[in-house]
Structure 1
């Protein structure tokens, strides 16, 4: 059985999407804003703006002989 009123404020839910979620669009926006954003951790060796290049076998040149 899907809820017909918002779990947060008790208002009537009108769309199927909000009924499935159980929370109205205004309350959903309000709760999304209060949830702190936790950034994804980056590896210690990562430098912003620097890309990793694939490793290739060293091909000898005239200067390396």
Structure 2
């Protein structure tokens, strides 16, 4: 079933993808209906065998290092 207009705001839907969903891209983003795949960021407790951790050292840039 395809809807020719957005069921939230009533605007005309031009794409077949959005017609199949029944909601436009702007309304989907505003309502949270548009979901993207979530890639989790690595946390500090994730450890890979064989991976060494380097200490973070603050280096003050000088004219010679630029």
TM-score by length of 1: 0.49
Higher Cα Rg, which structure? 1
TM-score by length of 2: 0.49
